């Protein structure tokens, strides 16, 4: 029989209020929120004053509280709260993907040392149960790849650029007006949010703990009308996609970049604020999960799912990490990409191992070909500063050959695109 849990909640913003609503309207599971810790003393609350506290220790030192639910914005303070709770023998549920990505190894060890559970389904892809699926269904299978759309804000913006022919700036403003994007949308549109989620998923899919600074994230801030026209004429949609892929020599590559998606891809019809995840197993083949990637109730429901699991004594087993048989991480891979550039100097910095298509016009130039991920990492700041745009054309990632390829193939095709 499950235990009725006593909860100490940190944060009562969008997700915190969503959890409160979902918990109090759930017929299948009951738990009590004992206290809610908040920071702003002047903000009106929708719950009674007796539930509110401004002192984190009132929750952390309360022996009646079994579970700490952490839903605040500050990743550094969240780490202080979560690590202290684990040390005190309390179970923790969090939705903070930045906290997790930056401290995965420390948090893993704290769980083991204190024999407690840290669950975080809500940290990756909203209502989609991807972490539990990786832990339970794919725990013993060798996976080939996990990819998808992990950020609802950017997906909403990109949907509008194709479906309604909006410019990037107009689509961003619409997303902000609807509350999907923050006033400062950097974390979403530059791919940091998706990167943090990819790092968390890489642990459960491949047993890897990777540092955020080692993973490339290129976002959509430099997207131009010409890029949108190119994608539309080719029949593509543009999506911001993390890719976590095993390569031939048992190495794994992880990165986040825009990608041209074809109509036969599951992600093609994942639009607006929805997320989608594709898991490819060695034996099980391809699985596709889709759901709301953000929002008060969907994320609150994912948090509640973790709380319910705790009432039954659930823990992540981290089998692929604990067995110490994980592949190794690498950025030395070739990707097939489209690059819109401005000058020849750009091509001296972004060096393509192979170019298969090239166009040069008055105000618009692009190349399509294979480029090493390490080169893009070295030139990420240059790409942003000079407003270049890069997008994956083919999702396949490969290891570079031992022999050095020529910079341009002899059979390069140049295209005159009359619409530009």
**Better-predicted residue by pLDDT, 279 or 168:** 279
What integer is the mean pLDDT of 64-83?
96
Q: Is residue 315's pLDDT more than 50? A: yes
Q: Parse the chain into domains and list their residue ranges.
A: 6-123, 334-414
Q: How far is CA 133 from CA 4, 137, 201, 255, 311, in A?
A: 25, 5, 11, 21, 19
Same CATH fold assignment for domains 6-123 and 334-414: no
Residues catalogued as catalytic: 197
CATH topology assigned to domain 6-123: Rossmann fold (3.40.50)
Distance, CA of 144 to CA of 161 (rounded, Å) = 31
Domain 334-414's class?
alpha beta
Q: What percent of the chain has pLDDT over 90?
A: 78
| C-alpha to C-alpha distance for 123 and 121, rounded to whole angstroms | 5
Q: What is the pLDDT of residues 178-201, one digit of tens each?
A: 877 878 899 999 999 999 999 999
DSSP letter for 352, please. E
Pairing of strands 143-149, 274-281: antiparallel
Evaluate whether 367 touches 357 at the Cβ level (below 8 Å): yes
Res 2 pLDDT > 70: no
pLDDT at 329: 97
- Name the CA radius of gyration of the chain, rounded: 23
């Amino acid at each position: 029989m499950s235990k009725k849990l006593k909860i100490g909640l940190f944060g009562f913003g969008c997700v915190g209020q969503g959890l409160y609503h979902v918990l109090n309207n759930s017929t299948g599971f009951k738990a009590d929120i004992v206290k809610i810790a908040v920071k702003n003393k002047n903000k009106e609350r929708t719950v009674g004053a007796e539930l509110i506290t401004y002192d984190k220790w009132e929750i952390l030192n309360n022996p009646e509280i079994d579970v700490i639910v952490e839903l605040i914005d500050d990743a550094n303070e969240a780490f202080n709260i979560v690590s202290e709770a684990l040390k005190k023998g309390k179970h923790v549920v969090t939705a903070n993907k930045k906290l997790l990505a930056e401290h995965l190894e420390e948090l893993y060890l704290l769980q083991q040392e204190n024999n407690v559970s840290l669950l975080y389904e809500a940290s990756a892809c909203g209502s989609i149960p991807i972490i539990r699926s990786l832990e339970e269904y794919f725990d013993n299978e060798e996976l080939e790849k996990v990819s998808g759309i992990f950020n609802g804000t950017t997906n909403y913006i990109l949907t509008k650029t194709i479906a309604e022919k909006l410019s990037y700036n107009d689509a961003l403003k619409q997303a902000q007006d609807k509350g999907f994007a923050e006033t400062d949308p950097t974390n979403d549109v530059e791919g940091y949010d998706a990167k943090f989620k990819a790092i968390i998923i890489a642990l459960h899919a491949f047993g890897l703990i990777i540092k955020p600074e080692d993973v490339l994230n290129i976002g959509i801030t430099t997207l131009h009308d010409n890029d949108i026209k190119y994608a539309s004429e080719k029949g593509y949609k543009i999506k911001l996609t993390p890719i976590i892929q095993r390569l031939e020599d048992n190495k794994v590559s992880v990165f986040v970049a825009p990608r041209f998606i074809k109509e036969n891809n599951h992600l093609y019809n994942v639009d607006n604020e929805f997320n989608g995840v594709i898991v490819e197993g060695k034996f099980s083949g391809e699985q596709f999960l889709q759901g709301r990637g953000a929002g008060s109730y969907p994320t609150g429901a994912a948090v509640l799912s973790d709380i319910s699991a705790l009432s039954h004594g659930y823990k992540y087993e981290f089998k692929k990490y604990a067995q110490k048989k994980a592949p190794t991480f690498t950025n030395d891979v070739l990707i097939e990409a489209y690059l819109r550039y401005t000058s020849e100097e750009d091509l001296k910095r972004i060096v393509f191992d192979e170019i298969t298509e090239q166009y040069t016009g008055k105000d618009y130039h692009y190349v399509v070909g294979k480029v090493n991920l390490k080169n893009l990492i070295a030139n990420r700041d240059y790409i942003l500063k000079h407003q270049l745009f890069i997008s994956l054309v083919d999702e396949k990632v490969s290891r570079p050959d031992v022999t050095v390829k020529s910079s341009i193939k002899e059979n390069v095709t140049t295209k005159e695109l009359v619409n530009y």
